[in-house]
Amino acid sequence: MGMHPNVVLVLRLTPEGLPSKTYEDILADEKIYVDDGGYSSEIEIDGDGYDHHLMEDSYYEDYQISASEGDIIVFDLVTYGYGECIEWESLLSKKTELEKWALPVCEKHSCKASVFITANYW
């Protein structure tokens, strides 16, 4: 385990249909290309870049995020160790923007959305 704790803001999308198809369709809507090595650009939400991942099991080891297999996660490190902090209002604003972005996405792609906070260590 690393020495630097990070706070991670996560939007979890739970598709009603096939997770991989839903994920691909969302990325296509956002005009995001994923290359053969799995690299892709971030999803931009209210001027902030968010990483994204389709959960192949219940734990995404690269970022130490837990969610259910088949969930689509959209996330950002809102602090990066070294004593960083985030103002409560700023965190609430980010949460609100994630929820606003998720509403039409979930309507179009038949999924449920929830926002949570987790932590990891690097």
pLDDT in tens, 10-29: 999 999 999 999 999 999 99
Q: Which residues are bridge partners to 44 per DSSP? A: 49
3-state secondary structure 62-83: CCCEECCCCCEEEEEECCCCCC
Q: Residue 6's CB: how many other CB atoms inside 10 A?
A: 19
Please count the structural domains in the chain.
1
Q: What is the pTM of this model?
A: 0.92
For residue 57, what are the domain limits? 5-121
Residue 102: CATH number of its domain:
3.30.70
Judge contact between 120 and 5, C-beta under 8 A.
yes
- What is residue 39's predicted lDDT score, i.e. its pLDDT? 64
Q: Write out residues in the chain with pLDDT < 50, as ranges.
A: 1
